[in-house]
Amino acid sequence: MKSKGETVRKHIVGTAHQLFYRRGFNQTSFSDIAAAANVPKGNFYYYFKCKNDILAAVVEHRLQAIQAQLQLWDDELSDARDCLRRFVDMLHREHAVIVRYGCPMGSLNLELCKTQPELHAHATRMFDLYRDWLERHFEQLRYTRDDAADLTLHLLAATQGAALIANTYKDAQFLQREADRIQQWIDSL
């Protein structure tokens, strides 16, 4: 059973996660998070001393979610190509929020690499999880380690680029077409 404090902390992290995604880290204040979480600002400092502490907790939350997602995909799918397709399928499943807000990982990493390099290194770990997982599946398709690494970066660039352009132009159909093209590329491997 969770303690009340742990429940409140998780609620704050979930609220901050949504605000950082929708507004951006730098555009979200401590007060914004406290108000949205409905936690008095004085109590808020009990859980987090500064906004960077909240970001670290949000990134840890995202890392755990990504790890669980990747494990689930591995458990459900035995074919490496199906795993790669499932990764790209996120563009289809999440198209509405991607078009509105962009990719949560890409947006956060882009913002932090420009303004807070020390925080960016922590947020990069989200991409690292996907990168390692994708490389392993390209290797299962009998690509060399170097080729698998190159194909992984190509796939990450293609999905991130599609998310960025779809968000920029608010074009869900473009995102769907690009996801289909990337799926066709995977099928051709």
Domain map (residue ranges) of the chain: 4-188
Place of tokens 């077409």: 177
Q: What digits encode the pLDDT tens for the residues 159-177?
A: 999 999 999 999 999 999 9
Q: How confident is the model over 152-161, as pLDDT tens digits?
A: 999 999 999 9
Task: State pTM to two decimals.
Answer: 0.93
CA dihedral 169, 174, 179, 180 (to 10 degrees): -170
Mean predicted confidence (pLDDT) in 83-91 = 98
117-128 residue pLDDT tens: 888 998 999 999
Q: Do 166 and 100 form a contact (C-beta atoms < 8 A)? A: no
User: Which superfamily, per CATH, for 4-188?
Assistant: Tetracycline Repressor, domain 2 (1.10.357.10)
Radius of gyration of the chain, Cα coordinates, nearest whole angstrom = 18
Alpha helices in the chain (DSSP H): 4-23, 30-37, 41-47, 51-76, 80-93, 95-101, 104-115, 117-140, 145-169, 172-188
Query: What does the pLDDT read at residue 48?
Result: 94
Q: For residue 65, what are the contacts with CB-CB under 8 A and spacing of at least 6?
A: none
Give 92-110 pLDDT, tens digit per residue. Answer: 999 999 999 999 999 999 9
Tens of pLDDT, residue by residue over 24-82, are 999 999 999 999 999 998 888 899 999 999 999 999 999 999 999 999 999 999 999 99
